Amino acid sequence: MDLIRLYSQNIFALRLFPHGLPDALLVENMTISDVTSIQLNEANALAFIKQIEAFRTLIYSEVHPLTMMIFIKVIIEPVNTVSPTYIKERFNISQAAASRHFRTLTVRKDADKAGLGLCEVRCDPMNPKWKFLALTPKGLQVAQELSKHF
């Protein structure tokens, strides 16, 4: 039962379960390795939270998580890879949603709304209908700053 108290004193657990632990987690045979894995998961979660906070501090406090993930894909994928179709298939979202996230990363989100300016749209030299995201100088600068947190 001491392990359960140790677990319930865990700050992360208190954030997840402010009204106490669910009955499913109140087991008598919890081992030290169970508690250790919970703490390791907490460390990963806290690192992830710090990465999101860094992203939002560098760019804009209300960036959609999917937009963050797409920007990271632009950073790590080869040139001429991230297109609205790629986004749609990779993240299993509608074409309209993929296009919205695509435009959000560019200078102009809509006719009357500015985008984040992290990427620019480039056309495929072989097929001008295909459009891809490429990093702008601002996007490169943000990518370098983010590399300190990832």
Better-scored residue on pLDDT, 87 or 111: 87
- Closest residue by Cα to residue 104 from 139, 137, 129, 77: 139
Higher model confidence: residue 150 or residue 129? 129
C-alpha 101/C-alpha 131 separation (Å) is: 14
- Asked if 42 and 12 sit in the same domain, the reply is yes
pLDDT tier at 39 (50, 70, 90 boundaries)? Answer: low
Same domain for 72 and 138?
A: yes
Asked if 71 and 46 sit in the same domain, the reply is: no
pLDDT in tens, 105-121: 999 877 788 888 999 99
The CATH number linked to 119 is: 1.10.10.10
Q: How many domains does the chain have?
A: 2
Query: Are 35 and 77 in a shared domain?
Result: no
Higher-confidence residue of 6 and 136: namely: 136
Report d(CA 21, CA 27) in Å as an integer.
11
Give the range of the structural domain holding residue 108, as residue numbers without chain letter. Answer: 63-146
Q: What is the dihedral of CA 79, 85, 86, 87, to 10 degrees?
A: 110
Reference 81, options 140, 132, 130; nearest CA is 132
Q: What per-residue confidence (pLDDT) applies to 6? A: 44
